[in-house]
Amino acid sequence: MTAVFTLPPLPYTTDALAPVISKQTVELHYGKHLQTYVNQLNALVPGTEFEKMPLEEIVVKAPAGPIFNNAGQVLNHTLYFEQFRPLASDKPAAPSGKLAEAIDEAFGSFEEMKTKLNTASASLFGSGWAWLAQDSGGKLTILQCPNADNPVRHGMVPLIGIDVWEHAYYLDYQNRRIDHVADVWNLIDWDVVASRMK
């Protein structure tokens, strides 16, 4: 039986991230862009070696091309939308526990990690993602991934993904990618990020 990929449910309302990410941007980015990646993946995998594979396995094994591009973007966007909390949330504004310790060990401080991820996001040429990821040894690192690439493809665990495709921010920030990236930190759900660690 062919795997059927579906749009992951949002853990908040479409207006909950405003003004950092507006209701219109969420509706277009999640409801249109991500839905298109899901639809295209479902149309591409039947009859291929990938039709019974889970999403992450497809991302690891698929060669560069349409199946990988759509699987990568479904995974990337699922992680992206699930990592946020409403702007008005009373959840912690910074990591704690094991995650905070790992950040301090890898980068020296939380602020230094933010600076490095901001720089990776701002300096990525063209479209793609900047990630905070955990390598196979448990150490945290930062990756720049063009287009649909993802840490999973490199044997790592994705913890935070910053989407720097223009559709992620252009309606709200126009060409001010750096400002958007700086503001996204106000939305990160650190409980979700910590739960992704191995």
Helix, strand, coil shares of the chain, percent, nearest 5, are: 50, 10, 40
What's the whole-model pTM score? 0.96
169: which residues sit within 8 A by CB, 6+ positions away? 21, 25, 163, 176, 177, 180
CA–CA dist 23, 57 (Å, integer): 32
Report how far apart the first and last C-alpha atoms of the chain are (Å, whole number).
30
Q: In tens digits, what is the pLDDT along the chain, a chain of 198 residues?
A: 667 899 999 999 999 999 999 999 999 999 999 999 999 999 999 999 999 999 999 999 999 999 999 999 999 999 999 999 998 888 888 999 999 999 999 999 999 999 999 999 999 999 999 999 999 999 999 999 999 999 999 999 999 999 999 999 999 999 999 999 999 999 999 999 999 999
DSSP letter for each residue of 50-62: TTTS-HHHHHHHS
pLDDT of the residue at 1: 60
Neighbours of 64 (CB within 10 A): 11
